[in-house]
């Protein structure tokens, strides 16, 4: 249950008049960011961003973490977005809603503490080497590079621009082509997000042959953004290549899909691959899907998020496992999978805390599902900057290009191998045998 108290009553009159003028102008343009947005963010982020909000109230989530609900006009949304992107050097950082009741309901229904503590170790086994092992050598850097090239060639993939929808449709068509020979696979555009403008999410579902009601999810976000969009009236023609953030994640997912489906793999559990809409403006697409799954009682047993997989500079690691806002048993499983499959290939892992709501896995965690994220190797972190996550410093700019990552997708190869291990081991392989070798006594249902 969220705890609420008043933070600030009214911003100064002069500022209020400026904001009102900006908002009125934006509404007159029909801009998708014209209307007031209600955000939920960490109190630390809210304070550091220096926001002035007409109605800001303090809350706590199920972990006791200090949060803020604030009514923001476009000017303040831009300031918050720039702070998260430029100072905290990460994606996400806040959840966005169309109304205060929606934002309050989100905190009241928060299941983060429950999701983190779910004891699912009995489900997280490693015994499917016969399927996973042959997959790993098939990962193609050239394929991942080609997908990143195509996605970053869209003028932008901003959620409210026509290019944002075109990119989603291109991903749908690409995934449909990879699943064309499979009668157990379907691809859809998920359009059940009320604040994602015209950008849908993309979902490819491979139905489980034995335990179809147990669901495994692998996802990444398909939209892109630059600081030029963080203004009251964004120019929807602004370039935002987003090669690392997050064309690399979608390209990695696409390679996982290609290899696993081409092998003839039939999972025992249902496996869903997702390209989320509107992550960069408040985790909107993933929140809509996770909340729908919660309301429908869908039994999701594990979620892997791939957000930025391709940047590595002067570090000895290949991949970092995000420790916060993640299910404890699942992050332990991530480490075990990495050690079983990637360490023998020379892989090196480390850990990372990425702060509140840093990507789409946070939507699943807040909805009560076990979720986690792996993040790119990055660069050495600045010990004098507590916000520095060692991320690619060109994210959210026109310089987020393959050219600025050595014109190579080699760093994403490890992530594709890891994702294949996750999908194969948690989805398992159906061989027609009646004596299932793993238990079906576990159920994760969020009511």
**Among all residues, which ones are annotated catalytic?**
221, 245, 279-280, 307, 396
Q: CB of 309 within 8 A of CB of 249?
A: yes
Buried b (16+ CB within 10 A) or exposed e, 143-179: bbbebbbbbbebbbbbbbbebbbebbebbbebbeebb
Neighbours of 184 (CB within 10 A): 16
Q: CB of 106 within 8 A of CB of 97?
A: yes
Residue 142, judged by CB atoms within 10 A of its CB (0-12, 13-18, 19+), counts as exposed
Task: Kindly give the pairing relationship between strand 299-306 and strand 37-42.
Answer: unpaired
Rounded Cα–Cα distance for residues 95 and 79 (Å): 15
Task: Give 302's DSSP letter.
Answer: E
What is the DSSP secondary-structure string of 100-133?
HHHHHHHHHT--HHHHHH---TTT-----HHHHH
Q: Among candidates 271, 259, 120, 294, which has minimal Cα distance to 210?
A: 271
Q: CB of 276 within 8 A of CB of 192?
A: no
Q: Among candidates 46, 107, 45, which has minimal Cα distance to 71?
A: 46
- Give me the sign of the Cα torsion angle 312, 344, 124, 289: positive
* Residue for token pair 């120019």: 235
- Percent of residues in the chain assigned helix, strand, coil, to nearest 5: 40, 20, 45
Q: Report the DSSP beta bridge partners of residue 214.
A: 299
């Amino acid at each position: 249950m969220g705890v609420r108290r008043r933070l600030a009553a009214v911003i100064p009159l002069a500022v209020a008049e400026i904001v009102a003028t900006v908002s009125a102008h934006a509404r007159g343009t029909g801009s998708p960011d014209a209307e007031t947005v209600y955000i939920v963010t960490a109190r630390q982020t809210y304070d550091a961003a220096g926001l002035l909000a007409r109605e800001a109230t303090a809350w706590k989530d199920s972990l006791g973490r200090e949060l803020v609900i604030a009514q923001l006009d476009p000017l303040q949304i831009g300031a918050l977005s720039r702070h998260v992107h430029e100072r905290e050097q990460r994606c996400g950082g806040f959840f966005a809603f169309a109304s205060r009741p929606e934002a309050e309901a989100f905190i009241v229904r928060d299941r983060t503490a429950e999701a983190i503590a779910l004891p699912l170790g009995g489900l997280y086994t490693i015994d499917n080497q016969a399927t996973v092992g042959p997959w790993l050598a098939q990962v193609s850097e050239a394929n991942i590079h080609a997908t990143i090239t195509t996605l970053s060639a869209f003028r932008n993939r901003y959620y409210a621009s026509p290019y944002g929808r075109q990119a989603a449709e291109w991903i749908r068509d690409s995934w449909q082509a990879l699943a064309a020979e499979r009668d157990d696979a379907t691809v859809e555009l998920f359009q059940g997000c009320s604040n994602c403008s015209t950008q849908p999410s993309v979902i490819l579902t491979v139905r489980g042959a034995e335990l179809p009601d147990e669901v495994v999810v692998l996802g990444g976000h398909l939209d892109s953004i630059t600081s030029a969009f963080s203004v009251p009236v964004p120019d929807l023609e602004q370039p935002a290549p987003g090669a690392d953030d997050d064309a690399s994640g979608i390209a990695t997912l696409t390679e996982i899909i290609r290899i696993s489906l081409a092998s003839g793999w039939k999972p025992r559990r249902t496996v869903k691959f997702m390209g989320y809409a509107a992550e960069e403006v408040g985790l909107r697409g993933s929140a809509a899907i996770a909340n729908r799954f919660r309301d429908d009682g869908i039994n999701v047993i594990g979620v892997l998020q791939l957000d930025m997989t391709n940047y590595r500079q002067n570090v000895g690691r290949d991949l970092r496992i995000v420790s916060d806002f993640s299910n404890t048993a699942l992050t332990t499983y991530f480490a075990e999978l990495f050690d079983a499959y990637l360490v023998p290939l020379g892989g090196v892992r480390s850990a990372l805390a990425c702060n509140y709501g840093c990507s789409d896995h946070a939507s699943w965690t807040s909805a009560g599902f076990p979720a986690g994220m792996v993040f790119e190797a990055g660069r050495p972190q600045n010990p004098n900057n507590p916000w520095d996550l060692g991320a690619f410093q060109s994210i959210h700019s026109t310089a987020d290009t393959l050219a600025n990552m050595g014109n190579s997708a080699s760093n994403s190869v490890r992530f594709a191998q890891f994702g294949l291990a996750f999908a194969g081991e948690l989805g398992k392989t159906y061989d027609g045998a009646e004596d299932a070798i793993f238990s079906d006594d576990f159920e994760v249902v969020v009511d």
